[in-house]
Structure 1
């Protein structure tokens, strides 16, 4: 088998009303999606998604004509592209999807098959009033969720803590509660100050009293030593690493025991190939691996396959905050919307590959750009 061509298609879903993400000062009026198709001479096509593939153009020839199963080679090239240009890890996901289809196995079984399901926590995205957040939390309980994550980003952190207090009072012990401080990284136009160690410590101590399951990204993503210090100072679990892009970042964090929960996303930082190595590294030293999954439904699926295959963490992130962030928005390019079962588990599809089924009508409706590269030609549509 060899790779004969690669297609990259981009789609844009208008968001009306806009999605007011807690981590983004500008309301989001569109939701962009990129899909990578890897075609072979045996008629099998792998599909991946999750990032924009910026920087990939001009490097297609490094993959065409190659054996798709040479995944370590391909991951090294994608890592080199990442260093010089941008994140092109959806190609790695497409290759794993292809290998699963070629072998007739779901990807999670190729990766270790530890389990075929994980409890999912409802990962919210908006800043809303304490009362509104409590109402939405009660809806999560009714739907079968056993945990949720609350985003911080009020101007006064005491208002954020008030949200957690109100939710805890409403749900009691029916939900584990995670908190995302969103201090690890910023959008290009965000120039507000991030927390320092003392602020992170004060907030962590408050959240301990509310029995919060973990505190995510309380400090900038590269302050490894300060995260390690914070972790030693408080009893609450410290999570992070969702936007750390390089393997050596995780080696250093692991060496310093900076985190209790590591969250690299296969669609953004290493693909399945590299993130599995990170998961093995940190779990071997007693930490948890629970990936970030806020890309789209395909990115969520890919992270689910790896996490179910290897993770010791009881929970997987499930981006979901209706009516602002719905299954229909997140999974608009897919036929089937991913959802938990009645017991709160997200079950891995048993179909070969990642189990992706695309919605052809949505693809036609929202496509905005298309690049096809074969052995002897490149076409822009």
Structure 2
């Protein structure tokens, strides 16, 4: 398996053009496995995307393969970049984002590969203008509150982890991965977390389609009064009748995630009653489609959250960039901390969580400067 490097013939008419594209596979281990209903992850086996222009600028983005969610692997991402996207994107001006979207839309699926291309183009645009991308996107705020994701572990260990994050990083919002059978495991975890964290911490659930609609209703019944704020992707959206009944009966918003990767999916699920809130993940939508999804949600009065693809710091920085740029996405804590479960990362300047928040980068672009030594150590194509 090798990364790709494709080149164009150079400038045309003095305009800035995309000259070459790299897709570099790399792997960084996690300090402990992250387990949830749709799978588990032992290492960040991602693809770093770099888009070069003929005037020397480089746009950067990270691509997280999630075969159990989107069907993508490192190999498939490299292949679609090399064989399909790059030959059509080379020669475009980075400002021609809509042309790039049109090129990529001809190929079905491959959401994180498309998202990485879009984020890298935005990074190039910011660098070419000397402006932070979060200001180009909207510039609403300079920071985002952090939500920490808790995976499948015994309830006492989950509480210990949550208390540590609250003490060390000031994080007070926690997303509990659920969807286990028997249901008592998840219900007990909720109870232990609520009793141990008190009322000042927010807790919400993400079942990753692990339950049926009726099982989700039973969990809601048995956790009534525990102050849960959201219920994310409780069952498969294909379970249409049960899902609609669940949404109608739920006392808290039901968040679409895996069921709403594109603006069209969002429109379908909201209009059909499949969810009452939407999780935006820049890793699968880029910034351009994320803005379209956000516009749909704000226009319909639907809450949004900023989600996590178990992102590296490069991916988390993209989430902060988009989330802080808009009032609606900045309103809730974003899922931004799971890079702390990694043994290492690629950024020259690591992300810091202080007082429960992460600040945007003020330099041009998204602000992800890659440590070349670390990339050389972890890349898998050399």
Same fold per TM (> 0.5)? yes
Is 1:211 the counterpart of 2:219? The answer is no
How far apart are the structure 1 equivalents of 2:237 and 2:132? 33
How far apart are the structure 1 equivalents of 2:317 and 2:291? 15
How far apart are the structure 2 equivalents of 1:290 and 1:272? 15
Question: SS of 2:107's equivalent?
Answer: helix
Q: Equivalent residue for 1:12? A: 27
Task: Give the drift of 1:76.
Answer: 2.1
In the alignment, which of 56, 66, 90 is matched to residue 64 of structure 1? 90
In the alignment, which of 32, 43, 47 is matched to residue 34 of structure 1? 47
- Classify 1:203/1:304 alpha carbon distance in 2 versus 1 (closer, same or farther; 3 Å): same
Q: Equivalent residue for 1:177? A: 203
How far apart are the structure 2 equivalents of 1:175 and 1:205? 21
Task: Give the drift of 1:257.
Answer: 4.2
How far apart are the structure 2 equivalents of 1:84 and 1:155? 31
In the alignment, which of 359, 362, 366 is matched to residue 347 of structure 1? 359
Q: Equivalent residue for 2:128? A: 102
Question: SS of 1:350's equivalent?
Answer: coil
Task: Give the drift of 1:64.
Answer: 1.0
The unaligned stretches of length 5 or more in structure 1 are: 184-193, 370-380
- Classify 1:222/1:309 alpha carbon distance in 2 versus 1 (closer, same or farther; 3 Å): farther
How far apart are the structure 2 equivalents of 1:196 and 1:327? 30
Moved more, 53-62 or 128-137: 53-62
Task: Give the drift of 1:174.
Answer: 2.5
Would you say the 8 A contact 1:120–1:345 is kept in 2? yes
Would you say the 8 A contact 2:262–2:289 is kept in 1? no
Question: SS of 2:81's equivalent?
Answer: coil
Would you say the 8 A contact 2:259–2:265 is kept in 1? no
Question: SS of 2:227's equivalent?
Answer: coil
Is 1:252 the counterpart of 2:268? The answer is yes
How far apart are the structure 1 equivalents of 2:320 and 2:367? 11
How far apart are the structure 2 equivalents of 1:225 and 1:335? 49
Spell out, residue by residue over 1:85-108, the C-alpha distance to the aligned partner (whole angstroms, 9 max, x if none): 984321111101111111111111
Question: SS of 2:234's equivalent?
Answer: coil
- Classify 1:328/1:219 alpha carbon distance in 2 versus 1 (closer, same or farther; 3 Å): closer
In the alignment, which of 26, 49, 63 is matched to residue 50 of structure 1? 63
Question: SS of 2:228's equivalent?
Answer: coil
Q: Equivalent residue for 1:374? A: none
Question: SS of 2:83's equivalent?
Answer: coil
Would you say the 8 A contact 1:180–1:217 is kept in 2? yes
Moved more, 51-60 or 165-174: 51-60
How far apart are the structure 2 equivalents of 1:332 and 1:249? 33
Is 1:280 the counterpart of 2:305? The answer is no
In the alignment, which of 202, 214, 217 is matched to residue 198 of structure 1? 214
| Residue-pair matches, total | 350
Would you say the 8 A contact 2:29–2:342 is kept in 1? no
Would you say the 8 A contact 1:121–1:146 is kept in 2? yes
In the alignment, which of 336, 349, 356 is matched to residue 336 of structure 1? 349
How far apart are the structure 2 equivalents of 1:129 and 1:250? 34
Is 1:151 the counterpart of 2:177? The answer is yes
Is 1:326 the counterpart of 2:351? The answer is no
Is 1:366 the counterpart of 2:378? The answer is yes
Q: Give the CA RMSD over aligned residues.
A: 2.2
How far apart are the structure 2 equivalents of 1:246 and 1:212? 27
How far apart are the structure 2 equivalents of 1:242 and 1:347? 27
Higher helix share: 2
- Classify 1:358/1:87 alpha carbon distance in 2 versus 1 (closer, same or farther; 3 Å): closer
Task: Give the drift of 1:136.
Answer: 1.5
The unaligned stretches of length 5 or more in structure 2 are: 1-15, 65-73
Spell out, residue by residue over 1:341-376, the C-alpha distance to the aligned partner (whole angstroms, 9 max, x if none): 22x12211111111102122211111112xxxxxxx
Question: SS of 1:88's equivalent?
Answer: helix
Task: Give the drift of 1:180.
Answer: 1.1
How far apart are the structure 1 equivalents of 2:35 and 2:212? 23
Task: Give the drift of 1:207.
Answer: 3.0
